[in-house]
Structure 1
Amino acid sequence: MKIYTKTGDGGTTGLLYGGRVPKDSVQVELNGAVDEAQAHVGVVRAHASGELAEICRELELDLWILMAEVATQTGKRDHLVPGKTLVTESMVAHLEELIDQFSARFAPPKEFVVPGEEVAAAFLDVSRTVVRRAERCSLGFVREAPDSFVQVYLNRLSDLLWTLARWSEGASLTARQAKHA
């Protein structure tokens, strides 16, 4: 099987459950930003271990679900399966639980954060900015699918990534302090 199909050479791309849209459509732009965010989260996972790596893998899988929903024409949304190809309210609630859980582990910064204190945190911040772009792209999509949780999920995901970055910086600082004590 060849990786190239030539079906996109005319400037369109195929959707889940059929149909084609221009490659500069809202759906494709949104999925491109989410795909980029997922790749950045994968970089975090490659540099992380333990709990952070597990959460990153879970987020990457969630983003596949989100991309499946976005890659479906409005008229075929009835084909989507909650939690498999459709973002659910419970997926958003899970992100909120993680935000609360990790926020309780560190004191919030009292000033603006300058990314780059620690590798995983820096990559989390890059991931967060890409997710924010995806969220902005999602506004056109959710106008066509007002029952979708895509925009809300992306909003909470960016909050979670910020939280994980601050937690990761604190965990790294604690480890460095213990090493030098």
Structure 2
Amino acid sequence: MGNRLSKIYTRTGDAGETGLADGRRVPKHHPRVEAMGAVDELNSHLGLLLAGLNEARSSALEEVIGVLAPIQHRLFDLGGELAMPEYRALNDAEVERLEQVIDRWNEELGPLKNFILPGGSRLVALAHLCRAQARNAERRCQQLNAEEPLEGAGLRYLNRLSDLLFVAARFIARRQGVEEILWQAAEKPA
């Protein structure tokens, strides 16, 4: 692949607009740019989680790394779809892959009987942070979809990804031998 970015700054966005891959210029607060930014933030948070998983150097977590690492590439694909409205990279097979992992991990975890809070370990908390960011990216994409209907599997992918990340947080806790933090309701006012 040749050099795609010969110059990092262009000064073309200084007035509050940015260019899309199809040549359109839109305000930086446009729902498409918001959606692209939310997906990018999710990918960055996922990179942080993966760095932590790699630093843990635990054979018990290798499966999690193997599942999450390709997702960074799929999120980059989704960013491409958002930047180039006619481009399609994701398909239903990617959504099904996430569902298969969710089902497999849930079998090991068993049913959830309580609400849980983010935390218990740094890695569990990072997985929950990614889950929350996935929900945010989904909301931003749904907001764009309300104005400019989105084609393809991207919305389904984000929805399933947030589910996967929730299960991943629980799976990481199980593999680390960390107790999940159960939600404790406030006492009812007297």
Shift of residue 11, structure 1, vs aligned partner: 1.0
Percent identity (aligned):
36
2:39 alignment partner in structure 1: 34
Residue 8 in structure 1 maps to residue 20 in structure 2: no
Letter of the structure 2 residue corresponding to residue 128 of structure 1: R
1:50-69 pair list within 5 angstroms: 50-69=62-81
Distance 1:100 1:130 in 2: 22
TM-score w.r.t. structure 2 length?
0.81
Q: How does 1:62-101 map to 2 (within 5 A)?
A: 62-73=74-85, 77=86, 80=87, 82=88, 86-101=89-104
Match of 1:158, SS? helix
Q: Deviation above 4 Å: which 4+ runs of structure 1?
A: none
Which deviations, in whole Å up to 9, do the C-alpha atoms of 1:38-97 show, x marking residues without a partner? Answer: 111111100114222222211100100100001124xxx1xx2x4xxx321111111111
Could you state the TM-score of these two structures normalised by the residue count of structure 1?
Answer: 0.85
SS of the residue 2:71 aligns to = helix
Structure 1 gap segments, 5+ residues each: 175-181
Match of 2:181 in 1: none
The correspondence for 2:117, drawn from 110, 114, 118, is: 114
1:134 maps to what in 2? 137
Q: 1:3: how far off?
A: 2.1
C-alpha distance in structure 2 between counterparts of 1:28 and 1:146, whole Å: 14
Moved more, 28-37 or 143-152: 143-152
Q: Which has the higher helix share?
A: 1
Q: What RMSD in Å do the two structures reach over aligned CA positions?
A: 1.6
The secondary structure found in structure 1 opposite 2:117 is coil
> 8 Å contact 1:131–1:157 — kept in the other structure?
yes
1:166 is matched with which residue? Answer: 170
Partner of 1:178: none
Deviation by residue 1:94-142 (Cα, 9 ceiling, x = unmatched): 1111111111111233111011112211101001101101111111333
Does the 8 Å contact 1:142/1:150 carry over to 2? Answer: no
Q: Whole-Å Cα distance in 2 between the matches of residues 37 and 158 of structure 1?
A: 10
Counterpart Cα distance in 2 of 1:46 and 1:98: 21
8 Å CA contact 1:40–1:127 kept in 2: the answer is yes
